[in-house]
Structure 1
Amino acid sequence: MAKGCLSPSSGAGGDGSGGQERCRSENRPVPEPGPNEVLLRMHSVGICGSDVHYWQHGRIGDFVVKDPMVLGHEASGTVVKVGAGVTHLKPGDRVAIEPGVPREMDEFCKTGRYNLSPTIFFCATPPDNGNLCRYYKHSASYCYKLPDNVTFEEGALIEPLSVGIHACKRAGVTLGSKVFVSGSGPIGLVNVLVAKMMGAAAVVITDLSASRLQKAKEMGADFTIQVKNETPQEVASKVESLLGCMPEITVECTGVQACIQAGIYATRSGGTLVLVGLGPDMVTVPIVNAAVREVDIRGIFRYCNTWPVAIALLASKRINVKPLVTHRFPLEKALEAFETTKRGEGVKVMLKCDPSDHSP
């Protein structure tokens, strides 16, 4: 018995450095769950920008694709088999998958920040395979049962939603906060959702794309700014003008140097700038401006302890992530789905891995 999966081959020289990556479908044996693992029949897998980046460039920072790697880390599926020691899940349970699983109980795990563990397993980050396939096994402790009123696609969207939850927590969003979100891609949009849910009084969001800003408006953004040729200082001035004050919190979701600069200039003295988007290793920023105004600059790396929170929010209908999904493809058309994401069409592209069930 075999499963279909999508896998990029490494570029020239096998180090991920040469040319555009190639994608292919491949048959592999169905894995057998070990102790404390479950075998899942995959249902919905979202395509992330990082998946596209690995496909196109073969690396992100120090993570280099050296061997063919299965993509996909925004995922949900159904338990079909449980390994020894698994008691909280049974065959037939619908689950959302947290892709990061600590390999050892180190100092970061002991303090509850397991996302920072240097040895963590993470789906679709070299050399760890992802879950864009028919069948996939995963640690049972990092599979979370979905309530009946939460769909598979909502379960898959918990992964990007978790980025928003973690970022807004790190930023300290609270009742009455004025928030500036830079970038209206999927991660910018989930930050709008979470900031509003956490009590933000007003959220302004920027982007180059008018259609993405319209989506942001539909999902709760109070103000939008379409950036054209403005300087970072001019963008900051527009943010202040729309909010009626400088925001206490800025969530930067692009990684673009000019956007980080605008984020520093825009943030109120004593406020917080959270860097979510990842760009070049080195960027030039007005660090003295931030320092003398006591603007805290915080990074985030993925998320931790967010799946139970996200499931509760989705089940209670406090947050609606369904509008994020704009395109759906069967697993057999994975390459077409990746091309769609690469072109920047829509918001979130979802792949359906179960040939007998393409429902949301």
Structure 2
Amino acid sequence: MLEPDPNRVHDPQVRSGADPLTPEPLDSPERDDSEPFSRRVSEPQDLGGSEPFAQRGAEPRKQRIFEPQTRAATGSRTRSIPDAQARRMTPSQGHGAWLPIATATALVLAVGALLWAFLLQQRLTDTEEKLTIAEQGSTAFSRRLAEADAKIRANSANVDQQLTEAQKQQQELVNRAAIIANQQMIEASRLQRGVADTSKRLGAVQADVSSVKTEVASTKTEVAAARTDLADTKQILQRTIGDAGVMSGLIARNHDELQGLKHRGDRSYYEFTLQKNAPPTLLSTVKLQLKKTNEKKGRYTLLVSSDDRNIEKKDKTVLEPVQFYSGKNPQLFEIVVNSMGKNVVGGYLSVPKGL
């Protein structure tokens, strides 16, 4: 084993703290090219600063990988030039083996960084767009909120105004209700006084009703007598004087009354219906023909043919007995018209029994 050189401690590299195991680069600015190469090669290398060489003999072998191995057992310190060149070139060759790997790694990292930057830029763009949309929505929401606030304030003002008007109307209604209640009390007092007066009058009326009932009983008796007199008068009125000045018999105003006269059997009766300007109608020994009607005035004109002579009865009225005499021994004939229409009349002919 080589012993440390006591003069090595004065080396500038050792004093500056440089690692003696790391070979000095060929282009290092600290190397003095003016120094002879043989002197630089022959100088012993300090392996641990100023510590004795024997104390650093236990350091790992990798720290002494470039330790000179050409020293002779005789203590010669001179190195050969080829060995020094080999010591200086070996680290450069090791760094050159890792250069492609480092370059590839740097390229991968650069591509990853670019991809990450692109994705980050894309997310940033999306975030900016969303932020813009959110800002627009926030602006629209703020505008709508302001409009809603304005409407609410306007509605609140209207509600307050309406509430004030409603309170005024309610107060007016309360005042009117008080007035009406007072009037109703006055009317109720008047009504009570009126009911009392009516009760008094009702008592007087009831007394009068009692006397009236007595009078009504006597009036009923008088009415019965009056009805009897009226029936007699009616019977007299039904016996009228005909156009010939002779008192007529009973007058039948319709078909039912005519049937009643037929059942009496005093005279013979023939019903007829005459049309205006129709051929003469034969009834017993007499022919009748309607010439003219006036429905509004209830008058008619009739042509009577009997015993080869014609008798015209002008402007006769309904229920008026039309009288004439006919036969070898002249007897009284009567014609009664009891219904009239437009251009038509109806009635009956009354002749003595047996003709």
Regarding TM over 0.5, the answer is no
TM-score if structure 1 supplies the norm length?
0.18
TM-score if structure 2 supplies the norm length?
0.18
Higher helix proportion (structure 1 or 2): 2
Higher strand proportion (structure 1 or 2): 1
Larger Rg: 2
